Amino acid sequence: MSKTTSVTCPTCGVPVEWGPQSPSRPFCSERCKLIDLGAWAAEDHAIPGDLTDDELFSTDLPPQRH
């Protein structure tokens, strides 16, 4: 007998069965999936990084002429 794996929807917190019956997993629905995508696009979510590392590489490219 196999145990069904369940995860929590990152957007709304509803339990979601992990399997082919849940095509939007780990989200409970396409709506929650799009809400999360919108949050990334609006920069509400971000992967932490060190700003000094980003500044090191900003001079690698020549300035653009418009």
Binding-site residue numbers for Zn(2+) are: 9, 12, 28, 32
Handedness of CA 28, 24, 40, 10 (dihedral sign): positive
Binding site residues, as ranges?
9, 12, 28, 32
Phi/psi at 17 (nearest 5 deg)?
-75, 135
Say how far residue 1 (Cα) sits from the centre of its chain: 33
